[in-house]
Amino acid sequence: MGVVTKRSSMTFFSDSTSHYSHRVRIVLAEKGVTVDMVDADSAHPPAELADLNPYNSLPTLVDRDLVLYESKVMMEYLDERFPHPPLLPVYPVARAESRLFIHRIEKDWSVLVDAIQHTRSDNVLKKSTKELRDGIMGIAPIFAEKPFFMSDEFTLVDCCIAPILWRLPSLGVEIRSSKQSKPLQAYMDRLFARESFQESLSEQEREMRL
């Protein structure tokens, strides 16, 4: 195990194309946190990362002696360390529900995004693309009820959904305009117009929707 070098400020090792890194960047922007951003490639991480993170993986957040290397843990840590604006509900039941939504996003959508991005199998690509589109379209109507995902306020759940929705064109997932998709399209417009979301985008991510 390497020695963790003490840092004077917060440092975020981020993959500029990863939706896991992107979700944390959105939280950092929402909170207005000053952070040293280190752009890195997951396939060729910086040498110092191996001394900080036992998995040598991205994203990695370093705050003085604390090193975090799981995106959901980073997001909750940032929400607690910088409490304004809050990105999780106050009450335990609602907080648990938000955590469960994030868990389902990862189980139902994130794995499909990862499969699309990394598979070399045409069958897997076709199947994963269809499942992701069907999954997203299946919940499209719920966005007619509240401005954000099952909430009147922007939360960590939206921070996890937004990077996936932003990547849909680059993933080959087309959301056609229809009565069913209209609430989803409006939700996407609200997310993408947020100042924090625009600030969170890397150059590579901006190119995903050119």
Which residue type sits at 117? Q
**pLDDT above 60 for 69:** yes
Q: Which residues of the chain are in CATH 1.20.1050.10 domains? A: 92-209
Give φ, ψ of 201 to 5 degrees: -70, 135
For 147-186, the DSSP string reads SBTTBSS--HHHHHHHHHHHHHHHHT-----STTTHHHHH
Q: Which residues of the chain are in CATH 3.40.30.10 domains? A: 11-81
Whether 69 contacts 53, CB under 8 Å: yes
Mean residue pLDDT across the chain: 94
Reported pTM: 0.94
pLDDT higher at 25 or 7: 25
Could you tell me which CATH number the domain at 92-209 has?
A: 1.20.1050.10
What is the pLDDT at residue 5?
A: 44
What is the pLDDT at residue 2?
A: 41
**pLDDT above 60 for 9:** yes
Could you tell me which CATH number the domain at 11-81 has?
A: 3.40.30.10
pLDDT band (50, 70, 90) for residue 210: confident
Distance (Å, whole) CA 52 – CA 66: 9
What is the pLDDT at residue 43?
A: 87
Distance (Å, whole) CA 112 – CA 133: 10
How much of the chain exceeds pLDDT 90, in percent? Answer: 92
pLDDT band (50, 70, 90) for residue 1: very low
Distance (Å, whole) CA 200 – CA 59: 14
> Stretch 12-23: mean pLDDT, rounded?
97
